[in-house]
């Protein structure tokens, strides 16, 4: 219990993102201050490729990821960045639906299903920043696994190729946002994941990033970075609870399923829209109240 008046802003943001309704044990691999650090890294972004989309079973791209990617991309556009979203054929309609619900122009790149498109895309776009929200990252064995330990390699294009092997003086700054350990960026905390249990050890991604943000739901991680950007810039960048509902419903209409229940319904990770609305409101409060600190 933290006494009233003693909570610093960064601590409040971390507490919101550390809510763990799925009991995934994220406190073991989440790092305080991660969203604020990612926001500082993204504040001056000029050209951003934002990867998202996770298909958990045939014909089942999930509701977690595209809304968070849409909200973060919109915020970065408002700050002057050129943003394009990268996903595969299954999740492209979801990303477009989320952007349309926000009133944003969809600019979606469909990554080749067989892979091998990283070099050409990076050369064409010359991104200053690469961001992934709820996007599968390869394991040490080279497979892509769901949170249940099922291989989803045949269902998800290897978009993580964009994040692997980036070297040199002008390489993009990379950000990964996830909630389970099997996403792009979780290579940063793989040692912690391996110690959690056998399932986490098996599904853990080896793909590393410069900045990793862990949240109870990956969408929340994207929203948390936007809340931190709002505080840094003094601009109202975060969406509303009503828009959050609209985005999720639009994604479901476009074919999205809840990644946990595997049902085509307007929920995210088995949580009703009201729960996500509450998190959005908490983050909006944190952003506009200045509780997150001025750094």
Task: Using alpha carbons, select from 221, 185, 176, 175 the residue that is nearest to residue 205.
Answer: 185
Strand partners, 176: 132, 212
How many Cβ atoms are within 10 Å of 245's Cβ, its own excluded?
17
Domains detected in the chain: 9-289 (3.90.1640.20)
Structure tokens at 57: 């079973």
pLDDT tens readout for residues 99-148: 999 999 999 999 999 889 999 999 999 999 999 999 999 999 999 999 99
At 18-67, the pLDDT tens digits run 999 999 999 999 999 999 999 999 999 999 999 999 999 999 999 999 99
d(CA 52, CA 219): 10
One-letter-per-residue 3-state SS of the chain: CCCCCCCCHHHHHHHHHCCCCCCCCHHHCCCCCHHHHHHHHHCCCCEEEEEECCEEECCEEECCCHHHHHHHHHHHHHCCCEEEEEECCCCHHHHHHHHHHCCCCCCEEECCCCCCCHHHHHHHHCCCEEEEECCECCECCCCCECCCCCECCCCCCCHHHHCCCCCCCCCCEEEEEECCCCECCHHHHHHHHHHHCHHHHHHCECCCCCEEEECCCHHHHHHHHHHHHHHHHCCCCCCCHHHHHHHHHHHHHCCCECCCCCCCCCCECCECHHHHHHHHHHHHHHHHHCCCCCC
With beta carbons less than 8 A apart as the criterion, state whether 176 and 183 touch.
yes
Helices 9-17 and 273-289, interaxial angle, to 10°?
170
The pLDDT of residue 291? 43
174-228 per-position pLDDT tens digit: 999 999 999 999 999 999 999 999 999 999 999 999 999 999 999 999 999 999 9
191, 28 Cβ separation under 8 angstroms: no
């Amino acid at each position: 219990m933290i006494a009233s008046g003693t909570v610093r802003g960064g601590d409040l943001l971390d507490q919101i993102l550390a809510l763990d309704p799925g009991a995934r044990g994220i406190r073991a691999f989440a790092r305080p201050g991660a969203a604020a650090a990612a926001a500082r890294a993204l504040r001056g972004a000029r050209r951003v490729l934002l990867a998202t989309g996770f298909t958990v079973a045939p014909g089942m791209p999930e509701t977690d990821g595209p809304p968070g990617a849409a909200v973060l991309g919109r915020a970065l556009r408002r700050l002057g960045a050129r943003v394009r979203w990268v996903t595969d054929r299954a999740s492209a309609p979801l990303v477009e639906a989320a952007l349309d619900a926000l009133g944003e122009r969809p600019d979606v790149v469909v990554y080749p299903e067989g892979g091998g498109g990283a070099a050409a895309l990076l050369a064409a776009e010359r991104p200053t920043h690469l961001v992934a929200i709820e996007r599968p990252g390869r394991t040490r064995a080279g497979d892509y696994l769901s949170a249940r330990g099922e291989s989803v390699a045949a269902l998800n294009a290897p978009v993580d190729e964009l994040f692997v092997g980036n070297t040199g003086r002008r390489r993009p700054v990379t950000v990964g946002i996830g909630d389970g350990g099997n996403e792009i960026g979780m290579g940063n905390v793989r040692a912690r994941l391996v110690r959690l249990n056998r399932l986490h050890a098996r599904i853990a991604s080896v793909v590393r990033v410069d900045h990793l943000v862990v949240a109870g739901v990956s969408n929340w991680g994207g929203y948390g970075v936007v809340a931190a950007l709002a505080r840094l810039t003094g601009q109202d960048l975060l969406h509303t609870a009503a828009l959050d509902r609209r985005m999720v419903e639009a994604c479901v209409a476009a074919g999205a399923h809840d990644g946990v229940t595997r049902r085509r319904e307007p929920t995210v990770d088995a949580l009703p829209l009201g729960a996500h609305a509450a998190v959005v409101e908490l983050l909006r409060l944190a952003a506009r109240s200045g509780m997150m600190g001025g750094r």
